[in-house]
Amino acid sequence: MGSDASYHFAVALLRSARKTGGLVRIQQDLGSIVGLMAGERRVGFFFLHPLIPIARKEEFLRMACETEVVRRLMKILVGTKNLNLAGEIHSQFSAMARRELGVVKATVRTAAELSEESKARLQRALDELTGKQVDLEAEADPEVLGGVWVRIGDKVIDNTLRTELKMVKERLVSS
């Protein structure tokens, strides 16, 4: 888990989201800001530069965020020179939000990239299997060779050709 500070910020955001009912919007706003900072380093420099007036920074936040709670969080992070915690806070808050909404995260690896139709079918199957809404993250991994590898929480379903071949080899060697 991340630092104590980022955890406490994420908990405070969750409490605010419960009060306002804006859980998804807060997650999206924070994700947008974190994405901007990750994709464009100048955004972080903009926030931290001491010669740029606070009013300009607040104007940027008003344009970039719909939620007041995310704007306040960013002001605090900038003011305390803890802007580097924003990504960690977003990760922790997103995990808390998924639990709050009854959503589980699933990571899927296949040999080739899945089509949108295949992702949708897999999404429905995993939703049905878990009885929850699944946040699906699919990635191509040539090491898989064929089949599918799925991680949902601490459970792994390994139905890959690589694993099947390994098991056949082990059986042949032990015979």
Could you state, in order of their start, the residue ranges of all structural domains in the chain?
4-99, 103-174
Q: Model pTM?
A: 0.67
Residues in Cβ contact with 50 at an 8 Å cutoff, skipping those fewer than 6 apart: none
4-99 folds as: Peroxidase; domain 1 (1.10.520)
Residues 139-172 have pLDDT tens digits of 998 888 888 899 988 889 888 888 888 888 888 8
Residues 117-140 have pLDDT tens digits of 999 998 899 889 888 888 889 999
Q: How far is CA 70 from CA 7, 12, 67, in A?
A: 15, 11, 6
When the candidates are 3.90.550, 3.30.70, 1.10.3470, 3.40.30, the CATH number that belongs to 103-174 is 3.40.30
**Residue 2 pLDDT > 60, yes or no?**
no
